[in-house]
Chains A and B, each alone.
Chain A
Amino acid sequence: MSEHSLQREDFAKLSKEEKVPEVVVRESISAWKDAWFRLRSNKMAMVSLIVLVLIVIMAIIGQWISPHDYSTNDLSATNQKPSSDHWFGTDALGRDMFARTWMGAGISLQVGIYAALVDLFVGVIIGGIMGYYGGKVDEVLNRFCEILYSIPSLLVVILLIVVLEPSMFTIILALSITGWINMAWIVRGQIMQLKNQEYVLAARSLGASPARIMFKHLVPNAIGAIIVTITMTVPSAIFAEAFLSFLGLGVQSPAASLGTLINDALKAMTIYPWRMIFPAVLISLTMLCFNIFGDGLRDALDPKMKK
């Protein structure tokens, strides 16, 4: 410490102006900033994020960049190799693969994202109710979830779409019918842990309503796990949609998802392999980036988990 020895005047009462209770020396770092710093230092996750952003941008503008429309048939130019005119070649009806690939990416991404959002909405509400109220309510809802979960979800999805006729809306609906359960269980687990914390007791004793406690106190604290679950749901929904395309239950022509494009290309793969390459690489890349980014996000949001 300093050489300065204590003097009598050091103990004098401070005047009002001098009285600064606490000085924050450094800018405070919120939990979000902290997570962002950790995420930023994860190179693989950042590269995935950038690639994902690029894919999303291209999925939005890609089909407009191409000189050709995604649905115009050109029977004089079918199954062409990639060229300066058709950048990714053409399909069996002479439709431009560049436009079709990006519009397919757009549809696949939309299916994935909307399915994840529906899961989020339903899962957080049901999971929140289970976790918050506990007891009988939890038991009944949990049993219901267990029964629904024990039925293989893809089979339910297939049955529903056979009945409802395939479209983007029915595919998303069918995927969400069983998809929300996982989210509900994760939220339930988080809320059960959180609801015994002192700040919840404090809020309750101040007379906060259950809804307020749920959405102001509990959900924000569980948001890390929720976000990670969403990031992981998107690639599995994209895969599920592609799987449906193989059964002929995907998005119907002339619209196409990456799954339908790959399925179409497979039929003639031995002769026109290039029709397969672009959609196949794109769907793999998208799922890969979502998985790596999701892993990175989990490490960043939950530092305790880190090995």
Chain B
Amino acid sequence: MVRYVLQKLLFMIISIFVLASATFFLMKAIPGNPFQSEKNVPPAIQERLNEQYGLNDPLGVQYLHYMNNLLHFDLGLSMKQQYTSVVDVIKNGFIYSLQLGIFAIILAIAAGIVLGLIAALNHRKFLDAFTIFLAVLGVSIPNFVVAAGLQYVFGVKLGWLSVAGLNDPTDFILPVVALSFLPAAFIARLTRSSMLEVLTADYIKTARAKGLSGRIILIRHALRNAILPVVTYVGPMTANIITGSVIIEQIFGIGGLGKSFVNSITNRDYTLIMGVTLFYAVILMLARFLTDIAYGLVDPRIKLSRKGG
């Protein structure tokens, strides 16, 4: 177990190192320098800017400097927003993104499991077919279409909820629903198929033979085992929520990290792009890491010492 965790941790560190180096050299590979695009900058000021951002140093020195700063969680200064550090931008934006993300995960898990359960208990009946269809729809319709549709119907046509911003608790409803749409559909599919499998297992027959009530069998015996595969989905779900938040925040005009990321790309604010990319990568890798470990803990049948999985 310890070996496994250490191995995964080591892997994570290698991956982050590779990504950090890759981002660094990719950004350096862009022809020209970030201040050239700004017109009317006198050469003296250009030179001063280059000096300040260390752009005149040899590449190797810049790289070591960058890596050293990373170790101290220093991602440098934003190139386009004056006197703002990348860490601050991330801190300010992430509060909103985190709230949205957590609500979306809770909603996705709750809705997904309930839908999957309904489908499995009505196997081969109308409700089952209907849920499967809903799940395929959820997986297929891109989240920006969902978001735009929700915004139009509830914001513009019905006028029940506001179209943009996060000023009121009800403002969370639309972005969270849009964000959780796809993961919920995925979880519903997972729950349904594993529930169908579990319901034919011997221990369910045993429980029934003991004379336990249907509800206890369903919740204590079946559902507990059936939601195990959902745990494996936490990693990919985090990825979904992050990519989703980038789009959803833009559509609903929420000043979260996703929006900062989009802005940094449109402004070609390279230090910010690098910083946010690394930050996202670390979150995703942590989510995957925790998923791997959690899966081993909740399912004793999985032996963590074995490689892979």
A interface vs B, CB < 8 Å?
146-147, 150-152, 154-156, 158-160, 162-163, 235, 239, 242-243, 246-249, 262-263, 266, 269-270, 273, 276, 280, 283-284, 287-288, 290-292, 295, 307
List the 6 closest pairs (A to B, CB-CB), nearest first. A288-B140, A150-B15, A287-B140, A284-B141, A280-B145, A152-B284
B262-283 with Cβ < 8 A to chain A: 262, 265-266, 268, 273, 277, 280-281
Q: Indicate if B103 sits at the interface (CB-CB under 8 A).
A: no
Tell me, yes or no, whether B29 is within 8 Å of chain A by CB. yes
Q: For residue B151, which residues in chain A have a CB less than 8 angstroms away from its CB?
A: 269
Q: A249-B265, A273-B156, A283-B145 are in contact. Are A151 and B15 (CB under 8 A)?
A: yes
Q: B26 at the A/B interface (Cβ < 8 Å)? A: yes
CB distance from A59 to the nearest CB of B (A): 18
Name B288's closest neighbour in chain A (CB-CB).
A150
Residue in A closest to B27 when the chains form the complex, CB atoms: A163
Contact of B266 with A163 in the complex, beta carbons under 8 Å: no
Stretch in B50-58, B246-254, B296-304 touching the partner: B246-254
Report yes or no: A307 in contact with B196, Cβ–Cβ below 8 A. Answer: yes
The answer to whether B145 touches A160 (Cβ under 8 A) is no
| CB atoms of B23 and A147 under 8 A apart | no
Complex interface residues of chain B between 168 and 194 (CB less than 8 A to chain A): 193
1/0 contact string of B228-260 vs chain A (CB within 8 Å): 000000000001001100110011000000000
Task: For residue A280, give the distance in angstroms from its CB to the closest CB of chain B.
Answer: 5
Q: Are B30 and A154 in contact (CB under 8 A)?
A: no
B contact residues around A295 at 8 Å (CB) = 136
Closest A residue to B163 by beta carbon equals A270
Among A155, A163, A287, the most chain B Cβ lie within 10 Å of the Cβ of A155
Most A-side CB within 10 Å, residue of B148, B163, B288: B148
- Does B152 have its Cβ within 8 Å of any Cβ on chain A? yes
In the complex with contacts A154-B243, A163-B27, A269-B152, A242-B144 CB distance below 8 A: yes
Distance from A169 Cβ to chain B, minimum over Cβ atoms (Å): 17
Chain A residue nearest to B31 (CB atoms) is: A163
For A248, what are the chain B residues with a Cβ–Cβ distance below 8 Å?
262, 265-266
